[in-house]
Amino acid sequence: MEKLNFHLMQLIEETAQFGERFIPPDLKYFDDVPPNFEITIDQFYYEVTFEKTAQYIWLGVTFGSPAPRDDELTNVKNGTKKNNPRDKIEAELLKQLFCLYDFSKQILYLSNLQKRSFIEKIFREKTGRHFIIKPFYKSKDEFVEILKSVNEISFTEVRNLFDMNSRQRQALIDLAGTDSPENFTITANYSKCAKLTDFIHTLYNGWVNGSISDLVIRGLDRDKFGIVFNNDTFSKKIEVSSPKDNNGKYVPDSIKQNLLQELTLC
């Protein structure tokens, strides 16, 4: 069965009121959001299903555009063609997007990061509040603290971070079995240990002082969520089993149920 990645994001309201500038949303803000609605943005037509409980809100979205469109349909088995009966103002809603906000954890789970601005727009229009979706930012020390294991490290050596006689180069040899990276990627599984932690600190310091660029570290945290440190940003995601129907589209109710089970909300 296929897997669908949900990215963990912050959902916050920017407020002009005295006190904190950014605050998490309250359940009551979504009282007037209808269970089903449609919206057109940038020539894409969206159909949205909305659900609210005491624990979470859920959005299932299907969308598509009338263009591009071909005048003919092609039989992929024999190559024969026939006229396309779809009108120029019709669209097949084949693209999908899913989103869940957990009020207790104050985390938004989003299946497509490219549609972050769309979800912001929906929440703003339907609640009248200035919501912002932001990634989580963590320092290098915070990232190392929650890291349980690493499955990929990549970077580009700009200047000689790994001097021939340096302790850093020996750490690289011990960990990766090589001592001359330029465009460098380790793809392997490493459990967290002192040697790995020292190596990550070395890479981070090398990125800070300009010895390397394009630093990416991928791994798992203690809860087995995928986490990524990408230069100065941090991202976290969770994989969910994702059944599809006979037309190759995701089954929204199954996606939601599987995500809730992963989050132990059901």
Q: Which residue has the higher pLDDT, 215 or 124?
A: 124
- Could you report the per-residue pLDDT of 7-62, keeping only the tens digit for each? 989 898 987 665 567 788 999 999 999 999 999 998 999 999 999 999 999 999 99
Q: What is the pLDDT of residue 119?
A: 96
Q: Which residue has the higher pLDDT, 207 or 63?
A: 63
Whole-number mean pLDDT of the chain?
83
Q: Which residue has the higher pLDDT, 151 or 2?
A: 2
- Could you report the per-residue pLDDT of 188-209, keeping only the tens digit for each? 677 777 777 887 777 777 777 7
- Could you report the per-residue pLDDT of 112-166, keeping only the tens digit for each? 989 999 999 999 999 999 999 987 766 667 777 777 877 777 777 654 555 544 5
Mean pLDDT of 59-79: 95
pLDDT exceeds cutoff 80 at 96: yes
- CB-based contact 130:120 (threshold 8 Å): no
Q: What is the pLDDT of residue 121?
A: 95
Q: What is the pLDDT of residue 164?
A: 45
pLDDT exceeds cutoff 80 at 210: no
Mean pLDDT of 251-261: 95
Q: What is the pLDDT of residue 108?
A: 94
The pTM is what? 0.71
Q: What is the pLDDT of residue 170?
A: 60
